Amino acid sequence: MKRIGVFTSGGDAPGMNACLRAIVKACRKAEIECIGIFEGYNGLVEGLMSPLDVENTRGIEKRGGTILKTARSAEFLTAEGRARAFENLKQYELDGLIAIGGDGTFKGAVQWMEDYPVPVIGIPGTIDNDLHGTEYTLGFDTAVNNAMNAIDKIMDTAEAHNRLFLVEVMGRDSGHIALNAAVASGAEAVFLPEKKGELKEFFHLLNQRSKEPISHALLAIVAEGNDEGSAYKVASRVRALFPEFDTRVTVLGHVQRGGSPTQRDRVIGARWGVMAVEALVKGQSGFYTGFTGGKYQLVSMEKAAKNAYKMDKGLMHAMDILSE
């Protein structure tokens, strides 16, 4: 193997740059040229490629986002688009690929490997932590810490005024950020895509709190993809039934994605970057780097693409106890 291509796809995730730096270093150790592919699958289709080396990746481990950029590619979803991508791969003489991204990235890689003899190793990079076969995905730790730090600041003013705050966090299909942020921030309630009936439970809680002689600040975390709707919709229903609460809403939005990655995201990104290069050198393909049971290991990319992730039932149980 003489030349490896690497790209970041899907939503950006803190730790991607630390992972890229490790890939470049591992390639140098193996005497392999590393080619950066810009804008994800779109870069493969359009041939947006340039060499990566120690100099142009120096110091990037502390930066959020991804220096390779990321973009959606409708063309790669077509047979014609994948054919163009394969022609570019041959033109640049790439012997293998490392795909850093989430569920959609891996599904694209599985489809491409079915069409063409392309060795691919994946690295799970998504703040949602929603991939089957791994307990952790790159960027999740930073996103949760970003959310927690913002919520702590919000609760300073909530406690000063005895307000009820509904804080909406990212999680269109996954409630991992919401659940972990809720436990870490001392929330009384959390609204998750994976659970139903939270609004009824929340109204029961508010009814109890309204009867208490001393008012306190209250906090509920709302994952954007929960069944009850946005934090604003939940707040509207709360105000209609419980006008005695001073109800406010904050939507954290993309602030959760940005900023310098945490130590955990930098270290795991580095470990996975080295693992991915070494897997390709050994002739392995169709796997992604995972972490489960306290061990770093390779996981079938096809299984990840075809199976749903699982929520931490133990943490959900703990949240039920903590919210009473």
Single out the catalytic residue among 128, 130, 141, 265: 128
Assigned token pair, 108: 């694209």
Please state, in angstroms and as integers, the Cα–Cα distance from residue 309 to each residue in 28, 33, 175, 232, following that order. Answer: 35, 35, 11, 28
8 Å CB contact between 4 and 35 = yes
Residue 141 known to be catalytic: no
Cα angle for residues 268, 6, 132 (degrees, 5° grid): 50
**Lookup result for tokens 């996981």:** 299
Packing angle of the helix pair 231-241, 198-210 (nearest 10 deg): 40
CA dihedral 263→173→254→240, nearest 10 degrees, is -120
Using alpha carbons, select from 228, 166, 170, 168 the residue that is nearest to residue 199. Answer: 228
Q: Is the dihedral of CA 141, 152, 259, 43 positive or negative?
A: positive
Please state, in angstroms and as integers, the Cα–Cα distance from residue 25 to each residue in 18, 65, 170, 276, following that order. Answer: 11, 20, 33, 12
Distance CA 211, CA 208 (A): 6
8 Å CB contact between 50 and 36 = yes
Active site residues: 128
